[in-house]
Amino acid sequence: MSRNFLEKSKIYLCPGKYCGYQNNSTNCGACQRGYRVNTESICQLCHETLSLYNFMYIVFMALLALSFHWYFINRLQKKKQREFTLVKQTILYFLSILEILLAFIFTLLTFPPIGKLTMNVCQVKLLSDFYPMFHNPIVNYRKKLRCSYEVVYPLQSAIFVLYTYASLIMLLLRPLFVSIIHQKFISASIYSALHFYPCLLILHALCGGFIYFSFPILTITSAIFLNAIHFTLIANGENNWISFIRKLCGNIQNWIIYLVHVILLLCGLISLTQFEDEYHLILLPTVFLPVFRDHLQSYPESIVNVTLHNVIITHKQSDGNYKELWIFYTNMDAIQPKFPMKTEFRSQLPLSPSMSSTYTIIVRLKTLETCYFDVSVLDDAIKLAESLDALITYTDGLNCDVTFLFPFCFPRDFEVIQDGWTAFSVESEFSRLQAISDEWRISDVNKNFAICETYPERLVVPKSITDEYLKRSAQFRSHGRFPLLCYLHKSSKSCIIRCAQPLIGSSVRRCKEDEGLVNAMLTQRHKKGWILDTRHANVVKSAQNKGGGCEPDQHYALWKRLHRHLDKHNVLQESFTKLMDACIDQSEKDRWLSKLDNSNWLLHVKEALTTACIVAQTIDCEETSVLIHGSDGWDTTLLVTSLAQILLDPDCRTITGFEALIEREWIQAGHPFRLRCSRSGFGRSSHGQESPLFTLFLDCTWQLLQQFACSFEFNDTLLIELFQHAYSSKFGTFIFNNEKEKLKYNGIKHTVSLWSYFNRPEILHTFLNPFYEPNLSVLWPSVAAQSIILWRSLYLRFYENQIPQREVWDEYLLIKGKEIQLRSYVNKLRQELLELERKCTEKTNMIKTEKDSVVTI
């Protein structure tokens, strides 16, 4: 399966939800206190800090006890009105507050980290976390495995400790006030507390999970309801607002009660805002004993669990142990057959060709793999398939809540050596630019995305252009995407510029500020430039009738225009779909070659590379600047600018430089990854905005890698990994449409950057090209039809045997390793030879000196 998206666990997994392995133990069982089982069935120490939601839950339970205190104190006042004065009642009120407050503080100080006003907690995921005793698994239908422990440590025990502390403090504190309050009132208040505290503990033990998930609603509802009752009692049937306000303001007790209600309401509202981030209450099916098949093998007696973010297939090994396979929802591209209703499904669901009386569900993955579920029970097959189909629809680009995706819940399980979110900043790119030219500056004109939602907040612009010019130019360009520098040539100072189409319309509007901005990017040596439009001339005319268009010759006299049509959206997506149809069906070679040719995918690769070569030739040979745009400036525009930089800039052929290129020219430049990668080569989305443009870019890069194998620091493993993570990932790099969306969902804080993972030494090593030799020259690839070949290691890696290619590659690596060893040995011998020559020369000189001295004597 794909390494990142269909992951195998490293050890045999324990059965059940809460059974795990203790340290230095090979037996499944309950975890120790303060530990919780992770996804790999290992008991892991709980080290998460107390979240606001968990804190408010403990506050709620404390306030619940306080409300019972006040209720019984109020009842005591009603029974003994003459003896139990307002002063005594108020003292008891404040004593109960002090007791609960001290108990709350002592509770926080008791749990690790001991002595601090916080605590380490285990993350609560499901309602069942509060009731693990009901989820003890039965192994092989015989032995019941006991895995009951405090899964939500210490949220259950903390309430018991809280009430215990409150009772002890009450027994110590209230007798001190016997001289002020009569003993019988103190005794009555203590007896009432000793009655309701056990009741609250029983309530918490039985219904703690339900209270935990519902207390924000309970708090808000009770605050509003009690406040309404309180106002009704104050009004006492009167309709005079002035009298009501006078009664409310003139009584301190009314003020205190009103304040308590407001605090309860605020606590409930604050807790409710944290609810969605903490928990997802989704009930999904479990299917027992299907047969799961992939391109490698078949797994009988599996258990399929549809969880919050993925499908987990637990299958039985030959030795009787269990392993898990994970498939992210975002990696599922299509279900075959699709069926909206149960009755329709009965006629569409095919029988498995390999098994009698079983029903097969085919799942196509975005990473181009195909999985099969053979289910023997029709109702289970329907339930599973409908659930998967609904989840694919939910994770669609427009309908999906980004915070629902797995990257927002992925616990970082590796040490970050370099933070990928800050590795490729505008400042670092600007420092490289300053070494070439000092005619540029960083502008904050797009602060808070004021003029362009799809550009970063900080931009590199010409020094001679003011921010006011940039604002006017943004108004003149589609989506506010005004001309922006992509690449500056070191020797000629000519540059690559990208933007969106100008909004000239049928009236041929003009913007002098935009003209000035474009002309300011021309070099002093050559006051001429090229505008490369990635649309056909007829498409441009149609766009002009709708308000768009291209730069008029009379207003942009220093620029010549060239049209290089590059397909996108539906045409490119259809081509990719046909390509995958050809890759799946390899029954007849002639038919397969015909399908491959009809897909036109290799033609798209050829056209993209040809256009990039034109840009590179204009920059390097003619020393002329090039402005590139299509309609929106975030699709084919980025494809051409990034490929041209790979041809021109040797730094873009290193691993770090290639990552920086993708970050700068795709992610920060506003390519809508979530929309474009919402479907791969098998399915179609509801919004129809999917398009494999990034896949086309990676394919073009792979073509260059084949033609210039020694000029790239990385191998095709890096390209395949990028393809997989673009479509489905546990990292947050490719899940947003632009920088504004990333900031809106606080992606930098809540997700992990893919570059942080890639740049770890053990991962980086797998991407290295052993034949790499830095090449400072411009790359001039062949774009002839016979030079453009199919990327078999990506498109066919699940449909044909890849072992011969891997064996050849391993042999290459072995030969290269021996070559490195021999070169090292040769260098060592050369150093030894030089050392011997030096010693020989010294000895010769010494002998000559001695002879000379003898002759002189």
Q: Give the confidence band of 558 by pLDDT, cuts at 50, 70, 90.
A: very high
Q: Rounded to the nearest 10 degrees, how much is the dihedral formed by the CA atoms of 574, 580, 584, 590? A: 80
User: What pLDDT sits at residue 354?
Assistant: 52
Q: What percent of the chain is predicted at pLDDT more than 90?
A: 35
Segment 263-277 shows an average pLDDT of 71
- 3-class secondary-structure state, position 360: strand
pLDDT at residue 552, rounded to an integer: 93
pLDDT digits (tens, 9 = 90+) for 618-627: 999 999 999 9
The pLDDT score that the predictor gives to residue 116 is 84
Give mean pLDDT, residues 400-427: 81
Per-residue model confidence as pLDDT tens digits over 136-185: 776 544 566 778 888 888 888 899 999 999 999 988 888 887 767 777 77
pLDDT at residue 168 in the model = 92
Residue 23: predicted pLDDT: 59
- What pLDDT, on a 0 to 100 scale, did the predictor assign at position 341? 38
Give pLDDT, residue 635.
94
Helices (H) and strands (E) in the chain, counts: 26, 24
pLDDT number for residue 308: 67
Query: Token pair for residue 224?
Result: 């509003």
State the Cα–Cα distance between residues 632 and 533, nearest whole angstrom. Answer: 11
Residues 6+ apart with CB under 8 A from 158: 58, 107, 111, 119
- The CA distances from residue 340 to 328, 657, 680, 683, 812, in Å, are 22, 47, 21, 16, 51
The answer to whether the CB of 372 falls within 8 A of the CB of 363 is yes
The model carries a pTM of: 0.67
Q: Which residue has the higher pLDDT, 685 or 483?
A: 483
Q: What is the pLDDT of residue 141?
A: 45
The pLDDT of residue 196: 87
Say what the pLDDT of residue 10 is. Answer: 33
pLDDT at 283 over 50: no
Average pLDDT over residues 209-213: 85
Q: What is the pLDDT of residue 380?
A: 76
270 to 88, 124, 203, 217, 577: CA distances (angstroms) = 34, 18, 24, 11, 47
Highest mean pLDDT among 289-298, 376-385, 647-656, 797-806 belongs to 647-656
pLDDT number for residue 614? 96
| 221: its two tokens | 């509802």
Residue 142 is predicted with a pLDDT of 53
> How far is it, in rounded angstroms, from Cα 730 to Cα 713?
26
Q: Which residue has the higher pLDDT, 656 or 269?
A: 656
Confirm if 351 and 360 have CB atoms less than 8 A apart: yes
**b/e for 790-811, b at 16 or more Cβ within 10 A?**
bbebbbbbbbeeeeeeeeebee
Residue, of 395 and 518, whose pLDDT is higher: 518
Average pLDDT rounded to a whole number, residues 81-85: 63
Question: 237 or 809: which carries more pLDDT confidence?
Answer: 809
Q: What is the pLDDT of residue 279?
A: 37
For residue 139, the model assigns a pLDDT of 56
Higher pLDDT: 703 or 804? It is: 703
Least confident span in 75-89, 239-253, 331-345: 331-345
- Which of 162-176, 257-271, 649-663 has maximum average pLDDT? 649-663
- 458 pLDDT band (50/70/90 cuts)? very high
Whole-number pLDDT of residue 350: 62
Cα–Cα distance measured from residue 641 to residue 643, given in angstroms and rounded to the nearest whole number: 6
- Among 272-286, 778-792, 827-841, name the most confident range: 778-792
- Residues 599, 575 contacting (CB under 8 angstroms): yes
pLDDT averaged over every residue in the chain? 83
What's the rounded mean pLDDT across residues 255-264? 76
**Residue among 792, 779, 365, 780 nearest 602 (CA):** 792
Lowest model confidence (mean pLDDT) among 75-84, 385-394, 802-811: 75-84
Least confident range of 51-60, 220-229, 608-617: 220-229
Over residues 790-796, mean pLDDT: 91
What Å distances lie between residue 555 and 158, 422, 511, 552, CA to CA?
74, 40, 9, 6
Residues 239 and 281: beta-carbon distance below 8 Å: no
Instruction: State the number of CA atoms in the 13 A half-sphere of 757 facing the CB.
Output: 18
Confidence of residue 2 (pLDDT cuts 50, 70, 90): very low
Contact in structure between 432 and 424 (CB atoms under 8 Å): no
Look up residue 744 and give its amino acid. K
Read off the pLDDT of residues 489-514 as tens digits, 9 standing for 90 and up.
988 889 999 999 999 999 999 999 99
Range picked from 438-442, 780-784, 842-846 for highest mean pLDDT: 780-784
Label the pairing between strands 310-316 and 322-328: antiparallel
As a whole number, mean pLDDT of residues 270-275 equals 70
Residue 282, pLDDT above cutoff 50: no
Mean pLDDT value of segment 526-534: 89
pLDDT of residue 81: 55
For residues 740 and 791, give the distance between their C-alpha atoms in angstroms, rounded to a whole number: 34
The percentage of the chain sitting over the pLDDT mark of 70, rounded to a whole number, equals 85
**Which residues have a Cβ under 8 Å from the Cβ of 476 and sit 6 or more positions away?**
482, 502, 503, 509, 511, 513, 514
Exposure class string for 532-543: b at 16+ Cβ within 10 A, else e: bbbbeeebbeeb
Q: pLDDT-based confidence at 25, cuts 50/70/90? A: low
φ, ψ dihedrals at 299, nearest 5°: -120, 95
Q: Does residue 576 carry a pLDDT above 90?
A: yes
Top mean pLDDT of 98-112, 421-435, 514-528, 626-640 is at: 626-640
Q: Quick one: pLDDT band at residue 841, thresholds 50, 70, 90?
A: confident
Query: In angstroms, how far is CA 434 from the centroid of its own chain?
Result: 33
**What is the mean predicted confidence (pLDDT) over 228-241?**
70
User: In the numeric block, which tokens belong to residue 523?
Assistant: 């070099």
Q: Is the pLDDT of residue 528 over 50?
A: yes
With vertex at residue 646, the alpha carbon angle to CA 644 and CA 650, rounded to the nearest 5 degrees, is: 130
Mean pLDDT of 637-654: 96
The pLDDT of residue 52 is: 84
